[in-house]
Amino acid sequence: MLLALAVFWACKSKKEASAYLPIDVQPSCVVTSSQFDSWFVSGKATENGAVNPVNSVTFTHKDDCEFYQWSEQMFLWLTSKGDGSYGDGKRVFESPVFYTVSPEDAGGKRILIAHKEGLLLSAVPSLEKSVGLDSEQGQATGDALMSKDGSIVYYITMVNDVYAQFLTAVKNGKMSGKEFPTSQPALDSIVAFAKSNNVKLPDANALAMEIKSSWVDAETIKDLSSYVTIDAIIPTYTKTAAKWTITGQRKAKLAMLGVHIVASTAGHPEMVWSTFEHKQTAPNLSYTYLDTKGNLKTVKADTDKQWILNSNPSDTSEADINISHMKFKVDSIYANFDDAPKGNTVSPSNSTRVKPWGVADSGIPNGENASVAASNSQVISINNSIHSLLKGNDVRKNYLFIGSTWTASGTAPDGTSYSATNTKNGVAIGTSQLANTTMETYIQNGTGYNSNGSCFYCHHDFAKTGPTLLPGQLSHVFGDILPLTANSKWKGSVLSPKQ
Q: State the amino acid at position 360 in one-letter form.
A: A
Is residue 2 assigned to a domain? no
State the pLDDT at residue 331.
Answer: 86
Residues 6+ apart with CB under 8 A from 326: 143, 144, 146, 333, 334, 335, 337, 340, 344, 346, 347
CB atoms within 10 A of CB 236: 14
Number of domains in the chain: 1
Read off the pTM.
0.92
Q: What is the DSSP string of 248-283?
A: EEEEEEEEEEEEEEEEEETTEEEEEEEEEEETTS--
State the pLDDT at residue 10.
Answer: 30
Is residue 304 assigned to a domain? yes
CB atoms within 10 A of CB 247: 12
Q: What is the DSSP string of 406-441?
A: EEGGGPPP-S-B-BTTB-STTSEEESTT---TTTST
3-state DSSP helix/strand/coil % of the chain, to nearest 5: 20, 25, 55
CB atoms within 10 A of CB 280: 21
- Between helix 64-78 and helix 372-389 the angle, nearest 10°, is 40
**Radius of gyration of the chain, Cα coordinates, nearest whole angstrom:** 21
Sign of CA dihedral 22, 64, 50, 221: negative
Q: Among candidates 287, 270, 269, 264, which has minimal Cα distance to 428?
A: 270
The Cα–Cα gap between 12 and 1 comes to 34
Q: State the amino acid at position 143 in one-letter form.
A: D
Is residue 495 assigned to a domain? no
The Cα–Cα gap between 267 and 410 comes to 6
Phi then psi for 46, rounded to 5 degrees? -135, 155
Is residue 7 assigned to a domain? no
Residue 98 near residue 131, CB atoms below 8 Å: no
Residue 50 near residue 41, CB atoms below 8 Å: yes
Is residue 9 assigned to a domain? no
The Cα–Cα gap between 204 and 202 comes to 6
Q: For residue 127, what are the domain limits? A: 17-489
Which SS3 state, helix, strand or coil, does residue 37 take?
A: helix
Which SS3 state, helix, strand or coil, does residue 27 take?
A: coil
Q: What is the DSSP string of 230-255?
A: EEEEEEEEEE-SSEEEEEEEEEEEEE
Is residue 394 assigned to a domain? yes
Is residue 293 assigned to a domain? yes
Which SS3 state, helix, strand or coil, does residue 296 take?
A: strand
Is residue 22 assigned to a domain? yes
pLDDT tens for the 499 residues of the chain, in order? 332 333 222 333 333 333 579 999 999 999 999 999 999 999 999 999 999 999 999 999 999 999 999 999 999 999 998 766 666 678 999 999 999 999 888 888 999 999 988 788 888 764 433 332 233 556 777 889 999 999 999 999 999 999 999 999 999 999 999 999 999 999 999 999 999 999 999 999 999 999 999 999 999 999 999 999 999 999 999 999 999 999 999 999 999 999 999 999 999 999 999 999 999 999 999 999 999 999 999 999 998 878 999 999 999 998 889 999 999 888 899 998 877 777 889 999 889 999 999 999 999 999 999 999 999 999 999 999 999 999 999 999 999 999 999 999 999 999 999 999 999 999 999 999 999 999 999 998 889 999 999 999 999 887 667 899 999 999 999 999 999 988 765 555 554 333 3
Residue 147 near residue 154, CB atoms below 8 Å: no
Residue 361 near residue 296, CB atoms below 8 Å: no
